[in-house]
Structure 1
Amino acid sequence: MNFCQKLTALATLALAMGVGRAHAQAAPPTDPAATPETKLLLANLHSLVSRGTMFGHQDALAYGITQGKMWKGDAHRADVKSVSGSYPGVFGWELGHIELDSARNLDAVPFGRMKEYIGEGYAGGGVITISWHLDNPHNGKTAWDTARTVPFILPGGADHAKYVTYLDRMAAFLGSLKGSKGEAIPVIFRPFHEHTGSWFWWGQKECTPAEFKALWQFTVTYLRQQKNLHNLLIAYSAADFNTEADYLERYPGDEFVDVLGFDDYCRDVPRFQQSMEQKMPLLLSISQAHHKLPALTEFGYDGLPDPTWWTKTMLPLLLKYPVSYALTWRNGDPVHYFAPFPGQASAADFKLFTKNKKILMEKQIAPLHLYTKTL
């Protein structure tokens, strides 16, 4: 190792140590009325960063893949558990189409079953995060519609009342999430994600920074003050960014965000590694400066063609850049999936990945009682 490499290694170590110290003294939830469980969860997640990164999987309990076919709704089943022996530490869910008063979300998961799955994950000691690909309230098209929309749904806009109806339906679901003692289940809620891209109606080219901030601030305030939801930790989740200024251009303010993250997917391993090496240090630096929890809010490699991707690509990144959790996307069908299942090419490597002491599955975090005890 030459002198420059030593300096780089020392800088990375100092950053990781600094992040751990900052999180141990992190700010409380931005909601002054946050529930006791929500306050304790956030404090514990900050402390837990120094111990490792929680692994998460979207829709883990709802469906998966077996022998080239889909399984759906099997009790106590998850592809990640079938491979590693443990459920993921973080369970991701999606509320798209709840705004339409639909019985199922946009991925065909019944909301009634989703509520049960969330209860199971919480009871098992896992962490819950929820995204929302809501349909365009201006023209009724999908979340991926890129028509100019935000000005129409802000207060005073022609479609503001319709957007409020969407919020009311979504809030009713979030408010119905209860633990065994009737307590509200804490949720990391991730609205308007990947806003630095331009593939959603809330994207970078689809609204101004001021409009995006106004939408975010109105939404969070409405959920807190009008719907009395105090079990939410709010996640700000970017896509592409090159600098701190890029990342924070649409940041709504420290009083409206608890978690800072970004989404990044692998299509080419060297390019993915380069992207992560650029973004992860920025994320850790920004989260430390703002006393927020850092997370890799979405990541993945569609189809997992690299049999050693988990230990050769992801593990070194997560060991070098400690974040609270890393959530991979769903196993949507036998050719479109992001977590291994028995027989999949990377299954053995994933099992090795989860055996690393810095990768935290449910079996590692459940004994910590994140909702009831201080770490």
Structure 2
Amino acid sequence: MHNPVVNRRSFVLLGATVAMAAGAGMPTASAAAPTAAPAGAPMRVRIVDDKATSATRALFAYLMRQQGKGILFGHQHALSYGFTFTQQDGKASDTKAAVGDHPALFGWDTLILDGDERPGSRDATEAENIAALTRCLRQADACGGINTLSAHMPNFVTGENFYDTGGRVVSQILPGGAKHARFNAFLDRIAKAVQGARRPDGTLIPVIFRPFHENNGGWFWWGAGHTTSAEYIEVFRYTVEYLRDTKGVRNLLYSYSPNSSFGGDPTGYLKTYPGDGYVDVLGYDAYDNSAGSDAWLESLVKDLAMVVRLAEEKGKVPAYTEFGESGEEGRNPQWFTRLLGAIKADPLARRVTYMQTWANFGGSTRSYVPTPGHALHADFVRYARDPYTVFAGDLRGVYAARTTAVRNAPFMHLVTPTDRQRLTSTGSTVRVRVTHAEASRVTYSVNGGRSRRLRLDADGFYSGDWSIDPAWLDNRSVTLSVDARVNGKTLTDSALVLLGEVAPLPAGWIDDFEGYAGDDATLSEAYSHINANTTTLSADHKASGSYGLAYSYDLGSAGYTGIGKSVDADWTAFSSLVLWLRGDGSANGATLQVVSRGAYFEYGIPLSDTSGREVRAPFSEFRPAPWDTAHAGAVLDAAHLAEVTTFNLYLGHSSGAPTKGTVYVDDIRAE
């Protein structure tokens, strides 16, 4: 589940080839779906863990076969939070109270392990909270449902929760990072809980594990703007490898699930894709705060169709991993059936295997499963009665398939340094992981120079020291290449590494666009991106220095797009937000957004002026975002300016204006 106020309108076959794309470390051929077998022979499935239990393999096969036959309905915390029951006995759920049956999927979260969600408790011991999560998995299985597990992980640097985006956490929990051991300890608890989930006959209960979700947004510490795509890919891979290979967890399928929207373009969706060898389920999260508008449904279906298309190419399970109606812009009494109808009407989108909504945690606007008396209850009943929806009582043969796993081919990837990582000292450690095989020789080289040998270390990495010439720490970039000789073949990977410090910006400055070594990819990684947009460096349109920002937008059916950057600063010494802006001559508008203490303050700017000029937005004229009703009377005063956390720049559509264009920005700062 994402921060409900962030995403709002503000106006292939693993190892099939031995050569991999430079910097990506990803296989270049697509994976295969479960293959038909001769009568009586087991079905061959290709999944992340080729040593997974028979039930886990069967679950994957079932979900693959289910495509186009009906969509499974899922509900987060179905047995532990609700409006219709108080006793958490593993038998009552709001879904059952609403439609007479449990959901087909039961969602849980690792917050149970921290005691932050029921049935976990902050007063419980670590072992008791592990047992609580294990009990949830058993209860859902006993209800005839399928288990999913999401992971709202704490900030391992600051000790705060998942919404605390400070500390560049991902870089700190990767191998070699200062908080790597703490991250391992967290994964150990997940492993214990999942490995303890057994049926009365002793067999392990399969679980779909969905870590690091909605990472293309900026509301979590693993999200865009707080880590790079390469760091994200590596922490996802490390998580899989640690649970699968180090801890020997054999009852997990792994899900990847960015947040909406992509305009149907797979480029953004795949930007942080860990690779076919690390993902079983291609997921997608999208919530609606538009009362089921035609525009939202059109955008959703386009993206779901894109996810299904990718899943079919890669042999993965397509899923709508989070959905829900917020009720914040009026209620549509046919919301559920209109949503289902829109999905069913598209020949690709209708092939998503399941759709899972969030927990019934609080008030009426968060009743993701509407219970009797709710405005949407009658429509939810109609949704449940539709032959195309699947609830627990409808499930048949989920674990019945006889399968055999296709053996995973050898794979190699560069773990550290990651692509576009900046190194500021004369020493670094090169780490390479080789999975599903042993390498006879692993080496690294810089800019095509002499190869140096890496040795297998105690942590299972081929590693070695990289001594960097002090003269190279001048903001240059170099290419670090690694090669592994495996079974007579050479596997390769590489990363572009930035060397040297970047001069810090003056107090109050957000960006002057000079510190990216002229590299558009590095620029893009510094910002979170909402909906379709492209950011590149512009040498032609700028206020000063060598570069400004070219911000190209495609508003599409969403009607808005945005970029954001962490600030985490005290602006009490300043009175205005200032930037250089060159509009595109359209009637569209820009919204400057300052986030502080959970409140979202905005200031609007037209895009009609194409001359390129400095814009000054006094803090006294910022107002709370219209949708941020919790802070309707808030003022961007000294108390808020002392705790500014984020700057966002949204572009929004005006009636009759073009939906595409490019604006130019430079020298964004408080003064």
Normalised by the length of structure 2, the TM-score is: 0.49
Aligned to 1:371: 399
1:345-364 alignment to 2 at 5 Å?
345-364=375-394
CA deviation after TM superposition for structure 1 residue 181, in Å: 1.0
Which of 53, 60, 81 is the aligned partner of 1:42? 60
Which of 363, 383, 402 is the aligned partner of 1:334? 363
Query: CA-atom RMSD, angstroms?
Result: 2.1
SS of 1:65 mapped into structure 2: coil
Aligned to 2:99: 84
Which of 57, 60, 77 is the aligned partner of 2:78? 60
Which of 117, 141, 161 is the aligned partner of 1:142? 161
Aligned to 1:250: 272
Aligned to 1:7: none
- Tell me the distance in 2 between the aligned counterparts of 1:165 and 1:114: 16
Larger Rg: 2
SS of 1:180 mapped into structure 2: coil
Q: Is the 8 A contact 1:24 1:46 kept in 2?
A: no
Q: Judging by fraction of residues, say which structure has more strand.
A: 2
- Tell me the distance in 2 between the aligned counterparts of 1:319 and 1:361: 21
Matched, 1:267 2:289: yes
- Tell me the distance in 2 between the aligned counterparts of 1:56 and 1:330: 10
1:203-222 alignment to 2 at 5 Å?
203-222=223-242
1:79-99 deviations in Å (ceiling 9; x for gaps): 11112111110111111262x
Higher relative contact order structure (alpha carbons within 8 Å, sequence separation ≥ 6)? 1
CA deviation after TM superposition for structure 1 residue 345, in Å: 1.4
Q: How many residues get paired?
A: 345
Which moves more between the two structures, 229-238 or 173-182? 173-182
Q: Is the 8 A contact 1:223 1:229 kept in 2?
A: yes
Which of 96, 112, 126 is the aligned partner of 2:145? 126
CA deviation after TM superposition for structure 1 residue 318, in Å: 4.2
Q: Is the 8 A contact 2:90 2:139 kept in 1?
A: no
1:137-162 deviations in Å (ceiling 9; x for gaps): 12212111112111111111111111
CA deviation after TM superposition for structure 1 residue 334, in Å: 3.0
Which of 319, 331, 335 is the aligned partner of 1:309? 335
CA deviation after TM superposition for structure 1 residue 23, in Å: 6.6
- Tell me the distance in 2 between the aligned counterparts of 1:229 and 1:59: 23
Q: Is the 8 A contact 1:23 1:288 kept in 2?
A: no
Aligned to 1:287: 311
CA deviation after TM superposition for structure 1 residue 370, in Å: 1.0
What stretches of structure 2 of length at least 5 have no aligned partner? Answer: 1-31, 37-43, 121-128, 404-671
Which moves more between the two structures, 312-321 or 290-299? 312-321
- Tell me the distance in 1 between the aligned counterparts of 2:151 and 2:112: 9
CA deviation after TM superposition for structure 1 residue 47, in Å: 0.4
Which moves more between the two structures, 74-83 or 47-56? 74-83
CA deviation after TM superposition for structure 1 residue 183, in Å: 0.9
What stretches of structure 1 of length at least 5 have no aligned partner? Answer: 1-20
Amino acid at match of 1:56: G
- Identical-pair percentage: 34
CA deviation after TM superposition for structure 1 residue 114, in Å: 4.1
Aligned to 1:93: 108
Q: Is the 8 A contact 2:217 2:224 kept in 1?
A: yes
Amino acid at match of 1:40: A
Amino acid at match of 1:247: Y
CA deviation after TM superposition for structure 1 residue 209, in Å: 1.1
Amino acid at match of 2:352: V
- Tell me the distance in 1 between the aligned counterparts of 2:344 and 2:138: 28
Q: Judging by fraction of residues, say which structure has more helix.
A: 1
Amino acid at match of 1:328: T
Amino acid at match of 2:332: D
Q: Is the 8 A contact 1:315 1:353 kept in 2?
A: no
SS of 1:238 mapped into structure 2: coil
Q: Is the 8 A contact 2:282 2:317 kept in 1?
A: yes
Which of 108, 111, 115 is the aligned partner of 2:134? 115
1:234-265 deviations in Å (ceiling 9; x for gaps): 00000134221100011111000000011000
1:8-47 alignment to 2 at 5 Å?
27-47=45-65
1:22–1:254 distance in 2 versus 1, CA, 3 Å: closer
Amino acid at match of 1:231: N
- Tell me the distance in 1 between the aligned counterparts of 2:287 and 2:250: 32
CA deviation after TM superposition for structure 1 residue 374, in Å: 5.6
CA deviation after TM superposition for structure 1 residue 343, in Å: 1.4
